[in-house]
Structure 1
């Protein structure tokens, strides 16, 4: 019995999902901002109880590895690493942008006819983004990008692109010629997508080093001092 627990904490949604032998058993999530630290262990405990699975049954932990919220990623990473250490099981990382793109691909008829540009809001006019095809093969490296009216203009001249994720709302109003641009604003990463993408890595034994693993923050975090 291969049981996989998946965690998603990179966005405002805190979610956990449980898989057994490749099949989704259940998902639990909270869409309450800044709830991750106080609720993630409760969500895990409740989901395990509801699915009648014990912690000792887990074969691996999968996490959304970023980019995304610095605090959320730290909480997810610490929780996953603690479980992996205590249970002596492997850790699997899944790109948050891949999870967003995978959800958009699942919504799309004939997904092979499009490219996908997941966007994570990074404040102001900046996003974390990439461009991938329907097989989640990256065509443009993951990078922070300050959005402008000409962003993705060469790509849109050649391809139909579905823009998806929390950063889309900022971009759709900038596009001057949206003929090849399609927008899915409310697509968010979720633990069930993290788990589904992690299953193939579990089969191939593609794991992270638990001792040295850190999430993919993409940018340095700037911590300001208190005015007091």
Structure 2
């Protein structure tokens, strides 16, 4: 069996993470969550994770990148780096939906809070009470598509079993206090290793992106704010 090494880059969330997978299994990973780390550490992480995996760039079969939704700046940094590597190495680019990756990581951690009828909502912070999210069942089927959602105490009704996790979920702990049908798993961190299986499946299926025309899935346009006058 041919060994397929894929470099995986995750910069859509506050975490900057790089991993290497071999035939769909993560074999090396480096992550950090310091402010502005995407710009300052991404290329360093790439070199370090390759050394950790014991391979060279020439051995890579593809680069997989988290395509969004997520941070506008983070996505641009990650996709630009991934494209640059693909051009230099003449290898294909794979794009992974960030929420799909978060779901895979959450389920892969064997979360005991998941019930047979649980609805899983990975959430990426979009400031204030807004998040990027989608709704999945425990098999990974999409029940509600990706959206920018403003959340309040009535967002999920009064019945059902909803599990919220990710950088956008932690801020809702006080909001849903006392609503037993809504559970929030705090301090879940997304990581590049979470999309190893998905990246390998896409590689085997030949689902490659066009290096010239591919753009991240921003979901919302970048808004430039004007500083307030003092």
* Residue in structure 1 matched with residue 90 of structure 2 by the alignment: 88
Q: Alpha-carbon deviation of 1:171? A: 2.5
After TM superposition, list the pairs within 5 Å mapping 1:30-45 onto structure 2: 30-45=32-47
Give SS of 1:49's match: helix
Structure 1 gap ranges (5+): none
Q: Alpha-carbon deviation of 1:43? A: 0.9
Q: Alpha-carbon deviation of 1:23? A: 2.9
Give SS of 1:187's match: coil
Say whether the 8 Å CA contact 2:14–2:167 is kept in structure 1.
no
Q: Alpha-carbon deviation of 1:179? A: 2.3
* Residue in structure 1 matched with residue 72 of structure 2 by the alignment: 70
Q: CA distance change for structure 1 residues 183 and 79 in 2, over 3 Å: closer, same or farther? A: same
* Residue in structure 1 matched with residue 212 of structure 2 by the alignment: 211
Give SS of 2:180's match: helix
Give SS of 2:68's match: coil
Runs of 4+ in 1 over 4 A off after TM superposition: 225-228
Q: Alpha-carbon deviation of 1:15? A: 0.9
Say whether the 8 Å CA contact 1:48–1:55 is kept in structure 2.
yes
Which segment drifts farther, 169-178 or 79-88? Answer: 169-178
Q: Distance in 2 between matches of 1:111 and 1:81?
A: 40
* Residue in structure 1 matched with residue 17 of structure 2 by the alignment: 15
Q: Distance in 2 between matches of 1:40 and 1:152?
A: 37
1:125-168 residue CA offsets vs partner (Å, 9 max, x unmatched): 11111101122221111111111111021xx62x3221111121
Q: Alpha-carbon deviation of 1:82? A: 0.6
TM-score (norm 2): 0.90
Structure 2 gap ranges (5+): none
Q: Alpha-carbon deviation of 1:177? A: 5.5
Say whether the 8 Å CA contact 1:161–1:180 is kept in structure 2.
yes
Q: Alpha-carbon deviation of 1:4? A: 0.5
Q: Distance in 2 between matches of 1:72 and 1:131?
A: 23
* Residue in structure 2 matched with residue 53 of structure 1 by the alignment: 55
TM-score (norm 1): 0.91
Q: CA distance change for structure 1 residues 148 and 204 in 2, over 3 Å: closer, same or farther? A: same
1:168-207 residue CA offsets vs partner (Å, 9 max, x unmatched): 1232322376222221121121010022321211121112
1:98-133 residue CA offsets vs partner (Å, 9 max, x unmatched): 122222223324654422011111111111111011
Q: Distance in 2 between matches of 1:23 and 1:128?
A: 27
* Residue in structure 1 matched with residue 161 of structure 2 by the alignment: 160
Q: Alpha-carbon deviation of 1:227? A: 7.9
Q: Is structure 2 residue 120 aligned with structure 1 residue 116?
A: yes
Say whether the 8 Å CA contact 1:8–1:194 is kept in structure 2.
no
